[in-house]
Amino acid sequence: MKDKFFTGKNAELTIEGKTYPLPIIEGTEGERAIDIRDLRKDTGYITLDSGYMNTGSCASGITYLEGSQGILNYRGYAIEELAENCSFVEVAYLLLHGYLPTYDELRHFSYLLGRFALIHEDMIHFFDHFPPNAAPMAILSSMVNSLSNFYPEMTENPLEDIDIIATRLISKVRTIAAFTYKKSMGWPLVYPRHDLTYCANFLNMMFDSPVKPYEINPDVVSALNKILILHADHEQNCSTSAVRLVGSARVNLYASISAGISALWGPLHGGANQAVVAMLEDIYASDGDYEKYIKKAKDPNDPFRLVGFGHRVYKSHDPRSRIIKKACDEVLVTLKVSDPLLDIAKELEEVALNDEYFLERGLYPNVDFYSGIIYRAIGIPSNMFTVMFALGRLPGWIAHWKEMWDDPNWRISRPRQVYVGPEHRPFIPMEDRVEEDHEEPDIY
């Protein structure tokens, strides 16, 4: 990496009167980094960067994200063009291979998705041993981890046929997700069909019933395709970093993805769209007085924050929000949904798009705000929202795991730390110990 992207320039770091050159690296979109991989070896120092907000953990060719301008590209393609023109399966292929598939390549990839759609019948019995109200993400993480026992051949040479390992996982996770919902409701399982597309198949497994056959609506299928595309990858976020970190120990793909699912489960990461619906329910319970909550959000002394507005990375519009807002509007019109929570959501959206307070701070409705509304409109319960996020993010996780496995600069992830605990102290035998006041160390 140093030879290919080294700019020929160095930054300089002076420590105790001695100056050290640090190579400056520039990516293909102009993003620059100071290469500190030899810092500790050369200087004896490390850097301290809580949350890794200023630390690049790898060089990646998968996703480019530029927050100040609201840019998101997969493999060089703008997210707007992909969402408008591609299916989720096409985008999954793109992320895995680095290029858009031909007709024959897509047909073969889709064939594999259909071939691997079923899960082993023994796995179905696993569902019976989870508590009735088990969290769907806990079930998903456990089931994915167990796949390595059913398909151990995938751990021997995982990159020998990436299409097989990827389609096996992408297809089976879809089935596991739908079965998780059916089991939680106590309803009979609906098995996948070979005559349906990826998203239509998922919706049919979720909602078809012996007493009321599910009618597949093309507008709902289109909206679901868009949501999954928009969630397919997002650079080195918490869950993707977890996949890479766990995978760096050379564990199998299933265990790495299970770790990503667990990370995504966090309410500060994948739980945002579920939190949006919870917030709307709270407002509805307060007689629908959304204006009161707008005032609370503007009050600097009130800890309340509107969920689903603004983004940690995007400082202008989240490019995904424009796409999903359009899909959301189309779905609500098509389904003619009457839902007081959706009415409150529209009121909040109208305020945020026109109120100077929100505009000045870049607090636009984001992808989580709209995705939760769409999911609710098509009948997906809020406890399944994060599972839907995982379903979309899966191709990105696999692509990052593959990229890490292929990386000639691969190293097992092993962050350092700055120790702030007690200095060395002598051991005291039990009979000589007295009760003391203990102070927690200052962590900064």
Among 208, 233, 318, 368, the active-site one is 368
CA separation for the pair 167, 106 (Å, rounded): 12
Among 231, 311, 318, 400, the active-site one is 311
DSSP character string of 258-305: HHHHHHHTSTTTTTHHHHHHHHHHHHHHTTT-HHHHHHHHH-TT----
First to last CA, the chain: 33
DSSP character string of 105-165: HHHHHHHHHHHT-SPPHHHHGGGGGS-TT--HHHHHHHHHHHHHHH-GGGGTSTTTTHHHH
Catalytic residue flag (residue 35) = no
CA separation for the pair 86, 331 (Å, rounded): 18
Catalytic residue flag (residue 233) = no
Q: Are strands 71-74 and 63-66 parallel, antiparallel or unpaired?
A: antiparallel
Burial readout 203-219 (b: 16 or more C-beta within 10 A, e: otherwise): bbbbbbeeeeeeebeee
Tokens standing for residue 306: 């509107």
User: In 3-state terms, what secondary structure has residue 74?
Assistant: strand
DSSP label of 215: P
- Neighbour tally for 155: CB within 10 Å: 15
Helix (H) / strand (E) element for 18: namely: strand 18-26
User: In 3-state terms, what secondary structure has residue 73?
Assistant: strand
Q: List the strands of the sheet with 18-26, edge to edge.
A: 6-15, 18-26, 32-34
Output the CA angle 141-171-318, nearest 5 degrees: 75
| Residue positions annotated with a catalytic role | 311, 368
